[in-house]
Amino acid sequence: MSFINNETFNVFKQKANQLVNRTFDKHINLAVTGLSRSGKTAFITSFVNQLVNENSQSKLDFFNVIHQGRFIAAKRVPQKSLHVPRFSYEKSMSAFTQDPPTWPEPTHGISELRLAIRYQPKDSLLKYATDTATLYVDITDYPGEWLLDLPLLNQTFEEWSDATNILLTHSIRHESSQTFIDKINQLDPFEIVDEEKLAELAAEYTQLLLHFRHKMGLSVIQPGRFILPGDLENAPILQFFPYTNFKNIDINRYQNADDNSLIGMLRARYIEYKERVVKAFYKEHFINFDRQIILADCLTPLNSGADSFKDLQHALNLIMESFNYGKSGIFSRLFSPKIDKLLFSATKADHVTPEQHEHLTALLNQLVHQTQHQLSFDEVQMATLAIASIKSTKTGVGNYQGSQIPVIQGRKVGDDKLITLFPGTVPAKIPNQKYWENKPFNYVSFSPLKAVAENQALPHLRIDQVLEFLLGDKLK
């Protein structure tokens, strides 16, 4: 009986401490959001690395708590969600400390990490109660493709199928999709389902999604779990696909279709997927976030062409629709947390020359203009920034046809060859048709420039500004 009482007391104590932390603004739930290859793993590694290795050699001049000499120390502490895998910071850092250094493996599932930041309060009420205070930061990382499943919560199976059909037939996807669409259009939707045949078609649709993502560099991938299934791999809940021929279906017959029919089972599995996968993910994680950074790789789509770039814009808009924004006061923090600060970051800024960073930020502003307008109305504080989580190039000046031009130098991914180049001009606004015809941009992917020691701060661009925007107001 005593054991039960102690256990109950410990749980109560933990809950009470969490409540106190939120009441006095000593806790932040930070969502790190972005699509594949936007650099989420590298960002989180650098974010943590800069704080736990802060010293006189660190370049965090724009992070006020450090600039003012009030930062004491930061360390990783046990996370509160014991059922969620821990973000593998050590494994990621090992990639940067080996010689030659490499980029860490990307995210394949959800993970968390908790930081405790000890500082001297200056302006808040805490300065009257204590000489030091601690801010707890919970960082949640997850595959970006899972984000694109959230809009499904507001779509029926037929609505999602129609929207996907438009995407497959009216974009760069059309040529790759035609064989699959022809197979679906030849099916009798009311025939008794053959589960083996259904599984084969679902696998074919999954391969199509993988082709879109990895071969064509496209961003809108639904359902996202199909290409990053985690522990759901080969489960029947991931064996469905959009029915692309609703225009020729009897809607009344469809509404009354039995689950043993092909169309009925597709609909049933779609609904089950929404309830058990998408909604569960949303309820457990998304509604608890109160700060968010959205990472966007704008450079790769510039290389890939107009359709790829439009797809990135579409994906960003889909992601934004699914988050809960609004001004966060004390009661909303305690009972209904909402995201009150949002940072859009254009990643890999070190892959272009310094004078192009302003253009890169302006381009991202253009991509999220509609979202920014709505968030301004909702009183959400937001900003855009061009960053490099881990700097992988050096900058300099080169000679070209008798003129001096800015250049970058780094080790090219793949062959590890040291190259020097001017990648081209980043457009400051959404490119027009003439831009795509001229193709003035040549983005090259670089490896980390040099190995660092485990207790050394990683080289970066503007991570100090990221820290100030996301955490600065809580460290006063």
Q: Are residues 113 and 174 in the same domain?
A: no
Residues 168-206: pLDDT tens digits? 998 789 999 999 999 999 999 999 999 999 999 999 999
What percent of the chain stands above pLDDT 70? 87
- Whether the per-residue pLDDT at 281 is higher than 70: the answer is yes
Residues 262 and 354 in one domain: no
Is there a single domain that holds both residue 462 and residue 332?
A: yes
Same domain, 95 and 213: no
Distance CA 109, CA 128 (A): 43
The pLDDT value recorded for residue 14 is: 53
Query: Are residues 132 and 270 both part of a single domain?
Result: no
If asked whether residues 28 and 97 sit together in one domain, one would say yes
User: Angle at Cα 211 formed by Cα 417 and Cα 141, nearest 5°?
Assistant: 75
Query: How far are the Cα atoms of 107, 143, 199, 239, 416 from residue 230, in angstroms, in the given order?
Result: 11, 10, 18, 14, 31
Least confident range of 146-155, 179-188, 268-277, 368-377: 368-377
Residue 2: predicted pLDDT: 45
1-35 pLDDT per residue, tens = 444 556 555 555 455 555 545 555 588 999 998 87
**The two three-digit tokens of residue 93, written as one number:** 């850092």
pLDDT given at position 214? 86
Please write the tens of the pLDDT for every residue from 292-318.
899 999 998 888 888 888 888 888 888
Contact partners, residue 270, CB within 8 Å, separation at least 6: 152, 157, 160, 240
Host domain of residue 360: 22-142+285-393+451-474
**Co-location of 318 and 257 in the same domain:** no
CA 234 – CA 423 distance, rounded (Å):
42
**Cβ atoms of 87 and 113 closer than 8 Å:** yes
Considering the domain boundaries, does residue 427 fall inside one?
no
Regarding whether 243 and 193 lie in a shared domain, the answer is yes
Looking at residue 23, its pLDDT comes to 53
Give dist(CA 253, CA 251) in Å, integer. Answer: 5
Q: What is the pLDDT of residue 289?
A: 87
Q: Are residues 378 and 295 in the same domain?
A: yes
For 77, the enclosing helix (H) or strand (E) is: strand 71-77
Per mean pLDDT, which range of 227-231, 277-281, 404-408 is the poorest?
Answer: 227-231
**Residues 38-58: tens digit of each pLDDT:** 899 999 999 999 999 986 566
**Domain co-membership, 131 together with 217:** no
Domain assignment of residue 399, yes or no: no
Name the region of 414 (left: φ>0; alpha: ψ -120 to 50; beta: rest): left
Indicate the average pLDDT of the chain: 86
* The domain boundary residue, chosen from 218, 248, 282: 282
Give the domain-ending residue among 282, 308, 343.
282
pLDDT digit string (tens) for 242-276? 999 999 999 999 999 999 999 999 999 999 999 99
- Residue-wise pLDDT for 336-351, tens only, equals 667 888 899 999 999 9
Instruction: Count how many domains the chain has.
Output: 2
Structure tokens at 331: 């009661």
Last residue of a domain, one of 249, 282, 315: 282
- Is 267 in the same domain as 350? no
Decide if pLDDT at 417 tops 50. yes
Same domain, 460 and 374: yes
**In the chain, what percentage of residues exceed pLDDT 90?**
53
**Does some domain include residue 157?**
yes
Query: Is residue 85 situated within a structural domain?
Result: yes
Is the residue at 231 inside a domain?
yes
Mean pLDDT throughout 204-219? 92
pTM of the model: 0.87
pLDDT in tens, 61-85: 999 999 999 999 999 999 988 888 8
- The CATH number of the domain where 89 resides is what? 3.40.50.300
**Quick check: is 440 in a domain?**
no
Alpha-carbon distance of 282 to 149, in angstroms, equals 10
Contact 423, 353 (CB under 8 A): yes
